[in-house]
Structure 1
């Protein structure tokens, strides 16, 4: 339920541009990840969703801490996803997006 609410709030943000919806989406997505056991099959998807919301908030606000957290969370999503999982490519794409944004900002290739 929390994960679905986070997705819906994120969708509403995309339609309305309301930063309060995006803030709530990040909060709810964080709670969804925290409530999901480490070995749960939905954990990677919830991590990916949280990372994307944090990345979108960085794009909107310029908060470097959100971008760093997006990279961290996206890395975790990739790390817990088996090599042959059908969603792994999408999670890698998300991670690449946020790493690319960070490189554009810092010029650093350290990772």
Structure 2
């Protein structure tokens, strides 16, 4: 019987996502504040929703090795049709969290 193990990492993918230069150098300890309750009417509508959609799509793929962001991604993906500024702020918060966890593996 072999004791071989496998590690799954998306460190390169996460680094490439963060290399877009959208977020600052800070990290955050949680992907989403548990007291945040988002609605479709929060904030001001985004003028260009393509960046929001691209980031959310990339974050969905990142949940393969970061299951701890799945709930936050579930929340923000509900606003893909008409995202508001507050929803984009939450995406940035998740990216800051991902920046601090790029070395995590499954």
TM exceeding 0.5? no
Task: Identify the structure with the greater helix proportion.
Answer: 1
TM-score range, shorter chain: 0.3 to 0.5
Between the two structures, name the one with larger relative contact order (CA 8 Å, sep ≥ 6): 2
Larger Rg: 2
What TM-score do the two structures reach when normalised by structure 2? 0.33
